[in-house]
Amino acid sequence: MHTKNKNELEFTIFNIDVKVVTFYKFLYQINDIILAMIFITGSFLFFNESTTFAGTVLFVIGSFQMLIRPLIAISRDIHISKIRKEN
């Protein structure tokens, strides 16, 4: 197990190098892409009065999705902490 800084953890399982931080960064980035797509779509739906309600729904969904960002970071920290305690 190698540690580059307190938020990174690298280890080998079955001859495969695993970077815990890289996995969580990937989740964070995928979440941001989906979040952006939801807000952009919601914005376009506001251009037409008949689709304003659908746009509002997407904004509410996007707002809840913003809660996922800190949950990913917290999950990463807990995961790294558990792995360090096991070793």
The Cα-based distances of 44 to 34, 37, 51, 69, 77 in angstroms read: 16, 11, 9, 24, 37
Per-residue pLDDT, 61: 96
pLDDT recorded at residue 12:
57
Q: What is the pLDDT of residue 13?
A: 55
Mean pLDDT by 10 residues, the chain (87 residues): 54 57 85 96 96 97 94 88 75
Taken in order 55, 58, 59, 60, the sign of the CA dihedral is positive
Structure tokens of 38?
């939801």
SS3 for 38?
A: helix
